Structure formats: structure tokens, C-alpha cells
Structure 1
Amino acid sequence: MSVKRLLIARHGETDYNLKGLLQGRSIDAPLNETGWTQAEKLSSYLTNYTADKLYCSSLQRTWQTAKPFSEKHQLETVREKGLDEMDFGEYEGIPYMDASDDLKKLKLIWQSGSLNTPIPGGESPVEVFERANDVIQRDIENRKSDTLVYVLHGRLIRILLSKWLGYGLENMHKVEHQNGAVNHLVYDDGFKAVYLNKTDHLK
């Protein structure tokens, strides 16, 4: 299998992002005006690379972000439920500050190594990693293209990169992400980072 390049972008801004509301798997919010601008700038940046398909989650904030690039280059956009954001359970849709105390306690539990502990009513980091990693590993094995482009979600990106790059899921909080940012990885019997959380194209 040839070396694969993975370009993993975070979706553009939604009003949930703007207002500091938790936005997980059950929140299907559209991009706001800023998000569409970020999507256009992301499209311009991705033009530097050749891909034959785009991959995103089933949630509209990812496939809307992919839309300018897919339309410009007439690329198929594959929507995968396995690439949806983490299910934040009972915290979905509420202000982050209202849940911050509970989430800090959960973060400490995960940092201690209890990564099968789910968010109340939601998913655990291990569950999220396994479902998303299965999708991407299948894509890597089956695609002939050397470049795979994904538009994903913030927490999901943290979970995937922390595991793939050897930080450990317990350190996923150390992975930075911003709306419209790009992470460039190469895969050759394992993942290596070329750059992470690149935002120059958004300026």
C-alpha cells in the first residue's frame, strides 16, 4: 500500500460555536455566515492538493463545509455516520459554562485512564475512537488515491489525533482545534503529523 496523505479539517463555525453551546452528535446545526466564509477559504487552500473524494460526517456542518471544494472540483462527498461528533448526552445544546464543573470532573476521570467512562447519556472516548477509526482505516485500505480529505468535528479530531500520534486518549485535551483549521498527516504503517491545526488560510 502506498503512503497516504490525510488532510483533516474541522468544520466551519455554527451559531452553537459562536454562543458557546455544546454541540455533539444529536445537534445538526448549519454553518453561520462566518462558517461559510471559512468553508470558502478552506476550499481555496485544499486546491493545492489532488483528491478524488471528500469524506465527512452525516451532520450538515461538515458537508456544508466541504461543499465549496466539492462543487469546485466536482468531487463526490461521502457522508459517514461513523464520523459524527461525540455524543455529549445530557449536555447537548446547553451552554458550556453551565456544564463546565461536570465536564472538568469527567476530564479528570479520562485523564486517570478510565477512557471507557461515557458522558452521561452519551459516548466514551473509546467508543468514539473505535467507530471513527474503523471508517478511516477502511478508507485508507480501499482508496487508490494518495490523498484523503476529511471534514470532521473538534472533539472527534482530538480523539483521533491523540490516539494516532501516540499522545494517548487521556491527553486528547492537548490537541488544539479551531473552526476551519487543517491537520496534515501521512500514513505508512502508522500516522505521522506534517502539521496540526493550520489556520493561515483563514486570515
Structure 2
Amino acid sequence: MSVKKIYLIRHGQTDFNVRGIVQGSGVDSSLNEAGRRQAARFFAAYRHIAFDKVYTSLLRRTHESVQGFLDLGLPHEQHGGLNEISWGTREGTRITAEEDEEYHSVLQQWRAGQTSARLEGGESPDEMAARQREFIDLMLSRPEEETVLICMHGRAMRAILCQLLGYPLSQMDNFEHHNLCLYQLDYTGSMFTVRGFLDMRHLQDTYA
């Protein structure tokens, strides 16, 4: 079996990111000017890659982050399994340690292995991982797609990396992320290996 090459990116910056407002799966925001520059930089750096498929979540900020590739006519598929975790009633609100003790308490529970915990009206990491597995199974069932580009969200990216690389979800925070960062993975048919970790070289001078 040939090696499947996976380019996994987080969406570009939004105004909600700048303001520290939780988006989750319920806030369908667009990229801001900086996010559009990030997307353009990534496209310029990787447009030469012959992607067989572009996968995104259902949310517009992921579509906008790969618009350059979609404009080339590359096959595109949206999948709800790539959506960000639902933060329930906290979506659309600004969260800081001082303003919301409950939010940070839930994060601590996750780090302690209690990945069934959730915020009010929200989704647990276990529930998010279950829908991600549907996407993973679908992607791996398509060996003809040898090189794929996946655009998703920060917390969801941490969870899917745990699943692909065999880590418990309690280790999610070990996978750092920034807007339009890149992880590169290879799949040999039996295991995933990391070729690139939190690569941001394509964003050089983005904010100049």
C-alpha cells in the first residue's frame, strides 16, 4: 500500500480569536484580514502539492482558509466530524480565568482523564472523538486519495491528533496549535507518523 500523506491545518484567524471569544461549533464566523493573509500565505507555500481531496468542517472559517485550493477546482468534501467541539452555553462569550471558573475546571477534568465531562449544553471530548472516528474511517477507506488537505479547528485538531497517533484524549493539550498551523502525517496502512509538527514557516511576515 502506498503511503497516505495528510496535511492537517487549523483555520485562519477570526475576530473572535483576537477578542478571546469562544466560537465552538455554534459560531460560524469568517476570517478577518489577518486570517485571509494567513490563508493566502499557506496557499502560496503549498499550491504545488497535488492534493487529491480537500476536507473541511461545515463551518465557513475552514472553507475560507482553503479557498485558494478550492478555486483550483480540487475535490472538496465537508464533514461534520471535523467541526469544533461544542462549548454549549459558553459559545459567543469571552472566557478568562477570572471570568469563568467552570470553563477552566472542565479543562482540568479533561487533563485528569475525565473526558466525558462537558460544559452546560456542550459536548465532551469523548463525544467529539466518536464523530471524528466516522471521518477517520471514511478517509482511510479511500486509498485512492493519497494526498489530502484537512482544515479544521483547534480543540478538534488536538483530539484528532490524539486519535491518529494513539494518545489518550487527556493528552490533547500536548498538541499545540495556532491559526493556520500545519501538522503533516504519513499513514502506512497500519500506523500514523508525524512528519511536521506545528509548522508555521509559511506564515513568515504575515503580520508585517
Query: Corresponding residue for 1:77?
Result: 76
Aligned 8 A contact 2:4 2:143 in 1? no
Q: How does 1:76-155 map to 2 (within 5 A)?
A: 76-97=75-96, 100-155=100-155
1:81-101 per-residue CA deviation (whole Å, 9 max, x = no partner) reads: 221110011110111216542
**1:39 alignment partner AA:** A
Which structure carries more helix by proportion? 1
**2:84 alignment partner AA:** E
Q: Secondary structure at the match of 2:139?
A: helix
Identity of aligned residues (%): 32
Q: Give the whole-Å Cα distance in 2 for the aligned partners of 1:113 and 1:44.
A: 40
Question: CA shift at 1:2, angstroms?
Answer: 2.6
**1:131 alignment partner AA:** R
1:93-128 per-residue CA deviation (whole Å, 9 max, x = no partner) reads: 111216542222112211222211222211110111
Q: Give the whole-Å Cα distance in 1 for the aligned partners of 2:5 and 2:100.
A: 36
TM-score normalised to structure 1 length: 0.94
Q: Secondary structure at the match of 2:193?
A: strand
1:43 paired to 2:43: yes
Gaps in structure 2 of 5+ consecutive residues:
none
Aligned 8 A contact 1:56 1:79 in 2? yes
Q: Give the whole-Å Cα distance in 2 for the aligned partners of 1:197 and 1:180.
A: 9
1:8 paired to 2:8: yes
Question: CA shift at 1:48, angstroms?
Answer: 3.8
Gaps in structure 1 of 5+ consecutive residues:
none
**1:94 alignment partner AA:** T
Query: Corresponding residue for 1:173?
Result: 173
Query: Corresponding residue for 2:58?
Result: 58
Q: In angstroms, what is the RMSD of aligned CA positions?
A: 1.5
1:196 paired to 2:197: yes
How many residue pairs end up in the alignment? 202
Question: CA shift at 1:165, angstroms?
Answer: 2.0
Q: Give the whole-Å Cα distance in 2 for the aligned partners of 1:128 and 1:121.
A: 14
Question: CA shift at 1:157, angstroms?
Answer: 0.5
